[in-house]
Structure 1
Amino acid sequence: MAAIATDTHPYGRVSRLFHWGMAALFAWQFVTVGARVLLPDGALDDFLWPTHKPLGALLMLLVVLRLVWALVDRTRRPPSLNLAAHLGHLALYALMVAVPLVALMRQYGSGRAFSPFGIPLMSGFEGEIEWMTAIGGIFHGLLGWVLLALVVGHVGMAILHRRLSDENVLARMAPHAGQSR
């Protein structure tokens, strides 16, 4: 099956850099959680877990920059294939904002200082803001798992479109993927 116009209108380099760079960082985040859940208090967990919070803060910054770039670049972006694809991407963006946002809320509410990569983001204070830590405690992990499920679905749909239809959507984000099947 030959690819149709979906691979002739790829995303630009900046959009692809955001996509693949953030995909790698999110993969790292999911690996750190996997090690934390499956291998608690082991050497791998001890190595990976300290990177989770600073990379989460970096991802929050990157998602804001990515959203700004998407608005600036909106007239040059390829159109969504259908309503389901559009809604799926909106859900991914919403979760990419919500997951680190509730983690930052929990961090602030805990009263502990937070300086990712040595950059002071939050100074500590005495006490705790319980409603903030409660919301963060409940929703950070839950929404993180939902984000992982959507990411798996996103990857799955890109593969299905490439294999089962004339819509090679992978070529939009990885232009060289459209050259061979």
Structure 2
Amino acid sequence: MFTAAPMRDDREGYGLVTRTLHWGMAALFAWQFTTGIVRVVAEDSPVDAFFWSTHYSVGFTLFCLVVLRGLWGLANLHRRPPHAGPSQERLAASLGQLLLYGLMIVIPPLMIVRAIGLGRGFTVYGVQLVAPGEPWADRATFAPLADAHVILAWTLLACIVLHAAIALYHGFVRRDATLDRMVKGSSALPLNPGPDRP
């Protein structure tokens, strides 16, 4: 008999809203980092022009989604499934999630403030959210924001790659419920397999 997936998280797994936000944002981050990598290896090419034209809009979308996801996570905080492993691993997982959220929250506003501060305004998907105006200061003043944006963005990419590697480790080496819960919503696998588990 078909059972609809729960919308909210519970102690056994992640609900449909959390999983949709997670995988939707993963796809957008893959696109966003592609725009950055193309910018580095093929700047001013037609391919770069195509990808880079989406960078600000997708970045703003991700910023909105991470705020939404954070609020949803707080609303489900006491319902969410526990992390696997001993206490040190659970602490590391929690700190890793806080680091990811922190980077995702901080990175987009750096360039939004820079664009507005330089008088360029801010446009998302062709909709002008902030009109161009008088610059607040010169480019040199806002250079640290651009530098921080780039450094933190590559740091975020490294954290995402590590996050994915750890998830795959849980799914295919440790073979616990961690990956299943984010893919399927729940899992028949144990949260903490014993040492004799194949």
Q: State the percentage of identical aligned residues.
A: 41
Which residue number in structure 2 is paired with residue 169 of structure 1?
A: 178
| CA distances 1:77-124 after superposition (whole Å, capped 9, x unpaired) | 112331011111110000111111212121222111112023332222
Structure 2 spans left out of the alignment, 5+ residues = 1-10, 85-89, 190-198
Give 2:101's match in structure 1, choosing from 93, 97, 118: 93
Relative contact order higher in (CA < 8 Å, ≥ 6 apart) = 1
| CA distances 1:16-61 after superposition (whole Å, capped 9, x unpaired) | 0110011110110000011110111222111111000111111111
Q: Given the superposition, is the C-alpha separation of residues 168 and 129 from structure 1 closer, same or farther in structure 2, using an over 3 Å criterion?
A: farther
| CA distances 1:152-174 after superposition (whole Å, capped 9, x unpaired) | 00000011112221423111110
Larger radius of gyration: 2
Structure 2 distance, partners of 1:170, 1:15, is: 14
TM-score, normalised by the number of residues in structure 2: 0.80
Which residue identity lines up with residue 14 of structure 1 in the other structure? V
Structure 2 distance, partners of 1:43, 1:112, is: 23
Which residue number in structure 1 is paired with residue 72 of structure 2?
A: 69
Could you say what secondary structure the match of 1:121 adopts? strand
Q: How many residues were matched structurally?
A: 173
Which residue number in structure 1 is paired with residue 112 of structure 2?
A: 104
Tell me, yes or no, if structure 1 residue 32 matches structure 2 residue 35.
yes
Structure 1 distance, partners of 2:152, 2:141, is: 16
Structure 2 distance, partners of 1:98, 1:178, is: 34
Which residue number in structure 2 is paired with residue 148 of structure 1?
A: 157
Say whether the 8 Å CA contact 1:32–1:49 is kept in structure 2.
yes
RMSD between aligned alpha carbons?
Answer: 2.1
Could you say what secondary structure the match of 2:68 adopts? helix
Shift of 1:67: 0.8
Could you say what secondary structure the match of 2:130 adopts? coil
Which residue number in structure 2 is paired with residue 138 of structure 1?
A: 147
| CA distances 1:124-176 after superposition (whole Å, capped 9, x unpaired) | 21123358623321210100000000000000001111222142311111017
Could you say what secondary structure the match of 2:158 adopts? helix
TM-score, normalised by the number of residues in structure 1: 0.87
Which residue number in structure 1 is paired with residue 50 of structure 2?
A: 47
